[in-house]
Amino acid sequence: MVIATAVILGFVVLIGQLWYLQVLEGGRFLDASDKNRIRIRPIAAPRGILYDRNGTPLVDNRPAFTLSLIPRELPRDVESRDAVLGRVASLLNIPYQELLDAVARVQLDSFLPVRVRRGLTLTDVAKVEEWKLELPGVITEVEPQRVYPTSRFAAHLLGYVREANDEQLKQGRYRRGDMVGQSGLERLLDEYLRGQDGGERIEVDAMGRQVRRVQQMEPHAGAQVVTTIDRGFQEAAERAMDGHAGAVVVMDPRNGDVLAMVSTPAFEIDRFTGTIEREAWLRVVQDPNFPLLNRTIQSQYAPGSVFKIIVAAAGLQEGSITPLDRTFCNGEFRLGTFAFKDWKEGGHGLVDLHQSIVHSCNIFFYQAGLKIGAPAIVKYASAFGFSQPTGVDLPGEKLGFLPQPKAVRGRATKTWPAGETVNMSIGQGAVLVTPMQVARFMSAVANGGVLWRPRLVQRVERSERGVVWADRGQVSGHVELSPVVWAFLRQSMWAVVNDGGTGVGARIPGLDIAGKTGTAQMISKSRADKGQDHAWFAAFAPAKAPEVVVVVLVERGGKGGQVAAPIARKILNAIFYEKVAAVEVDG
């Protein structure tokens, strides 16, 4: 009886305990049990690295901390969840609404982390870990993040990456939180630069702490890209343009390789990579200097006197003018009741074609333009690639503009007004070009008439497969001129820099530079000495065996010879540093 009683009492206690666990505490233990599960954690793949032509990184990756939320592990009731998000907002100084929006974008039973803020500091991470037990569903991860030589280095060329936006997510190629190239080469080559994400399945306890790793799949980094850019040339061009608004293009005339491409002012790339506040974004987009605009291909300008090389080429090739033609320049040319001025007060006196190029005499070219005719000028300008896309791979390229004949009352055929022809003869009026078009045109002058498509990328490589894509360059056209004409143009451009011409500001002892200055009026009766005109200088060097073309445009800079030519000198000095230094030592 004693034994039976003891056994019965034992069963009663056991049944009571089971009832307590199942009925009274069942909900709590069920919730705890639910949280002891396998967590799927994605591992972001590093983006491929962009290298310059010499193997120096233009952009790289570094580990960075990211704050993420796991919706499934956040508290179920709204009040508790809001308390967790409020605590995070207070600890890390993140707008509370930003956290709410992040959670609202996904389903609450999702296991995948929702990335909220990238680039956390060690202090931020320490705060999260310190309060970890009170922040269920809040984790910090280590992910690769883009790092640049400087915050504005080659901003328009390289572009920036940030999380895929709603429009990109609709394409089905990206998941929420993926980093996607949004501009520049990052956007152009995104399919190669994006790697294949990995992941791991880990077992965690009720507090969200890792117990063991069940399975892991390693991420595969993106492809490596070798560009045509020379980082040293790019840095030199950016230093030379510091404080100016405008553009620089450095090109190899032998193959069309873009060695440097600068648009100033630039934007801070790293600001766009992370979370950017509305006020900061508005400051950028409303900036009157338009830092987001890639002036090398997206801005159009009157070419000014740089265009005189085309007018001279058209006249000489068509036989409309000869090198022996002379004009007395008194500083003014009259066409009917209109007076067209020369840039030099009082004029240049008696000048021939060579002297008119060297000293950039407008009066000679006003008269030469009427002799040559607008159809011939437009024909040769088109042959040199103006009013056409250069084919550069970056999006948003403008075509420029060349005047077209207009209908005149009483005439059956369209024609060019004489005044428009006169203006076009000195690169003014309706003529519009981009700095990239001028670089391609100047490369054709340097190499004897070959128009290359500007090349930015040499090849794309994967470690396991080798070269997966390559661009060997492409010729997009030829300009047919007599060898005598080419020689005359190059000799005249050499004299612009080295024989007392308007480009003397670009002269470097020991380096033969050929070039042409240009001063383009922005508005009627604007003045270069008041900083109202755009300053141009386009050059190639060495003059007899050209290796580089340098085109400089300074918006509202003034005279090309006084502003743009010295900038080009700094760039060329950096490019040919060893050759120039050797000459100085010998001297």
Mean pLDDT of the chain: 88
Rg (CA), the chain: 33
Tens of pLDDT, residue by residue over 66-92, are 888 888 888 888 888 889 889 988 898
Is residue 212 very low, low, confident or very high in pLDDT (cuts 50, 70, 90)? confident
C-alpha to C-alpha distance for 447 and 441, rounded to whole angstroms: 10
Q: Which amino acid is at 76?
A: R
> What value does the mean pLDDT take over residues 338-366?
94
Alpha-carbon distance of 85 to 83, in angstroms, equals 6
Which pLDDT score, from 0 to 100, does residue 49 have?
A: 94
Q: Is the dihedral of CA 144, 146, 147, 149 positive or negative?
A: positive
Nearest to 533 by CA among 556, 563, 553, 567: 556
pLDDT value at 563 more than 80: yes
- 86 membership: H or E segment, kind and range: helix 78-92
Give the Cα separation of 339 and 316 in Å (integer). Answer: 26
Q: DSSP states of 109-177 as a string?
A: T--S-EEEEEEE-HHHHHHHHHTGGG-TTEEEEEEEEEE-SSTTTTHHHH--EEE--HHHHHTTS--TT
74-81 long-range CB contacts below 8 Å, 24 or more apart?
Answer: 74/103, 74/108, 74/136, 74/137, 75/136, 75/137
Number of other residues whose CB lies within 10 A of the CB of residue 411: 8
Average pLDDT value for residue range 329-342 = 90
Sign (positive/negative) of CA torsion 161, 164, 165, 170?
Answer: positive
Structure tokens at 54: 């010499």
As a whole number of angstroms, the distance between CA 487 and CA 304 comes to: 22
d(CA 258, CA 421): 33
pLDDT for 412-467, tens place per residue? 677 888 999 999 999 999 999 999 999 999 999 999 999 999 999 999 999 888 89
Helix (H) or strand (E) holding 443: helix 435-447
Architecture in CATH of 231-278+502-586: 2-Layer Sandwich (3.30)
**What's the pLDDT at 13?**
86
Tokens of 78: 């709204």
Alpha helices in 302-404 (DSSP H): 308-318, 353-359, 362-372, 374-383
pLDDT at residue number 580: 64
| pLDDT value of position 196 | 84
For 3-17, b/e burial (b = at least 16 CB within 10 A) is: eeeeeeeeeeeeeee
- What three-state secondary structure class fits 460? strand
DSSP secondary structure code for residue 466 in this structure: E
CATH class entry, domain 39-199+214-227: alpha beta
* Tens digit of each residue's pLDDT (9 = 90 or more) over 505-549: 999 998 999 999 999 987 666 665 566 799 999 999 999 999 999
Report how far residue 481's alpha carbon sits from residue 468's, in angstroms, rounded to the nearest whole number. 39
The per-residue pLDDT for 32 is: 56
List residues bridging with 326 in a β-sheet: 352
Every domain of the chain and the residues it spans: 39-199+214-227, 231-278+502-586, 304-457+472-478
> What is the reported pLDDT for 180?
87
Q: pLDDT higher for 250 or 13?
A: 250
Which pLDDT tens digit goes with each residue over 161-201?
A: 888 877 887 777 777 777 888 899 999 999 999 888 887 77
CATH 3.40.710.10 fits 304-457+472-478, yes or no: yes
The predicted model gives 353-357 an average pLDDT of 96
Q: Contact, 253 vs 490, CB < 8 A?
A: no
Rounded to an integer, what distance in angstroms lies between the CA atom of residue 439 and that of residue 402? 17
Cβ-based neighbours of 326, under 8 Å, separated by 6 or more:
350, 351, 352
- When pLDDT is averaged across residues 357-382 and rounded to a whole number, the result is 96
